[in-house]
Chain A
Amino acid sequence: MEKNFILAGFGGQGILLAGTILANAFMLDDKNVTWYPCYGAEMRGGTVNCEVVVSDTEVSSVHKSNCDYALVLNQQSFDRFVKNVKSGGTIIANSTLVSESKPRDDIHYVFAPMGKLANELGTSKVTNVVSLGVLSSVIDFVSKDALKLAIEKVLGSKKKDLLPLNFKALESGSELIAKV
């Protein structure tokens, strides 16, 4: 099995961090994984994306033409990447900033108000972790425990005080779709 994800949003929404956490979680689940950022003259307010490829065997390549899952946090990213989702794939969108349109009928759509939930938790900064929670409820091959451990690993000892908020964001995110 090889699955690839595109994560995209505004610069500053924590897309690369979310991708890093996801990739770490896959690694902790003993899978092969590659994380690849778009890099270059990116800036706050512009769009950022990264690709995460997970595989039971060797990861074949990054820079794939299409993805199994797109996790998009803003409208520009939705418009850009909805085309790249494989037929039968899924786009998961932050409906706080993305309008709930369905331009294709051969893919699955998950709209969840991630930004709104993050604000309710106290800060829009955790929208990225909320989105990982949502993702964990959509796919069955990443465990919430691995994501939790990955958050711990990535935030490290320096940002220990932020762990409870992020765990809460993950937990609430994973319950969000059931509520919607």
Chain B
Amino acid sequence: MNNEKVLIKGNYAIAQAAINAGCQCYFGYPITPQTEIGEYLSGKMQELGRGYVCAESELAAINMVIGAVSTGVKAMTSSSSCAVALMQEALSYACSDELPVVLVNVMRAGPGLGYIYPAQGDYNQSVYGGGNGDYKIIVLAPSTVQECIDYTYKAFYLAHKYRNPVILLADGLLGQMMEPACFGEYPYPEIDNSSWALTGAKNRISRAIYSCARDEKKQINHINHLFEKFELISKNETEWEEFEIDDAEIILTAFGSMTRNIKAAMKVLRNKGIKAGCFRPITLNPFPHKRIYELASKGKDFAVVEMNMGQMFKDVKYAVNGNSNVGLINRPVGEWLKVEEIVSAVEKIMEKDYAASI
């Protein structure tokens, strides 16, 4: 369809990719640094005769998405950190109701209102969730504008394939930057939702989607069913990238746009004679625990580089399970850790100073 390279902002790329993926309805409320997504779709969705609602709040927006996807169509909302916090209850419901909700979170600084500069502080919010009960959201973390497109496509596909909410976890840096990217075509097959979607009960038995089981056994079976599904997702969809791992003594680990900085730092370290590698989880949930465990078992140390106080750090430590050392290189919010800062922090870690926090 469209293999032309265009210079495009991350937010616009996500919005156009959602259109290409067949998103029929968008509901959202403006918040920096992702407002361009709603801005772009407000015009385009109307041109295409699709649905666009600027909701009265984020709470309304995510519940509108729940309503729309209940009918089997593709729908999404987008927001940023403190407003995604408002959506947590609905995500727990959507997961329990097995609804293909797609949520884009372009992270800004927290906690509380925080501010509009970029951060990666919503790792826990996305991966562990702020909703009630046992539930899991599929979380995809792109690192370039091209990947914003690729993983928006994948978000819609996975949401419908597994009937589970998906979060595309970007950040202010990705949302605001422009890079050359190709849209190509939506590469995934369409999923048939006719067995469960609420489309009117003419000529069939009526259906209901609800999130309440008064019978304890039924609820236990329901949760077990959800977790069998999560197991399957973990088996089929866990995705990561690794570079220069084979001879590496220390593996820099990051997610999202910070991946670029650790790749650059790795090159500098290699030039200095330090055997560094890179590891980047692409799906934060399911997390590549197994692969990290394998690498740790070979005695490779890890240095987790992230723009928060050490959220993914804990998952890496859990996966390493005491088999090697895990250091943390971080800053809470704001300017991304510079390549030079990462390099000098790794050198400190190599001298066994594992809390080389900047």
Contact = CB atoms under 8 A, between A and B. Distances in A.
A35 B32 CA distance: 18
B173 interface: yes
A59 B179 contact: yes
A64 interface: yes
A40 interface: yes
Contact of B338 (A33, A58, A65): A65
Interface in A53-78: 58-65
A86 to B, nearest CB: 12
A60 B178 CA distance: 14
A39 B176 contact: yes
Contacts of A40: 32, 116-117
**Chain A CB within 10 A, most for which of B7, B117, B260, B338:** B7
Nearest to A21: B7
Contacts of A62: 173, 177, 336
A61 B179 contact: no
A66 to B, nearest CB: 9
Contact of A63 (B5, B7, B180, B336): B336
B340 interface: yes
A32 interface: yes
A59 B174 CA distance: 13
B32 A39 contact: yes
**Chain B CB within 10 A, most for which of A23, A39, A58, A65:** A39
Given A58-B263, A60-B263, A35 B7 contact: yes
A27 B8 CA distance: 11
Contacts of B340: 65
B33 interface: yes
Interface bracket on A = 20 to 34
Nearest to A38: B176
B178 A61 contact: no
Contacts of A90: none
B51 to A, nearest CB: 27
A172 interface: no
A20 B178 contact: yes
B173 A27 contact: no
Contact of B336 (A32, A37, A61): A61
Contacts of B117: 40
A38 B178 CA distance: 12
Interface string B241-263: 00000000000000000001101
A36 B248 CA distance: 32
B260 A36 contact: no
A34 interface: yes
Interface bracket on B = 20 to 34
B180 A32 contact: yes
A33 B173 contact: no
Contact of B179 (A33, A37, A60, A63): A33
B262 to A, nearest CB: 9
B178 A34 contact: yes
A24 interface: yes
B260 A37 contact: no
A16 to B, nearest CB: 10
Interface string B63-96: 0000000000000000000000000000000000
A60 B261 CA distance: 6
Interface in B108-148: 116-117
A105 to B, nearest CB: 23
**Chain A CB within 10 A, most for which of B180, B261, B336, B339:** B180
A65 B116 CA distance: 21
Contacts of B260: 58-61
A62 B260 CA distance: 9
Interface string B2-43: 000101000000000000000000000000110000000000
B347 interface: no
Interface in A3-49: 20, 23-24, 27, 32-37, 39-40
A27 B336 contact: no
Nearest to B115: A40
Interface string B261-289: 10110010000000000000000000000
**Chain A CB within 10 A, most for which of B32, B176, B335:** B176
A22 B339 CA distance: 24
Interface of B: 5, 7, 32-33, 116-117, 172-173, 176-180, 260-261, 263-264, 267, 335-336, 338-340
12 contacts: A23-B178, A27-B5, A27-B7, A27-B180, A34-B177, A35-B178, A36-B178, A37-B176, A39-B32, A58-B260, A59-B179, A61-B264
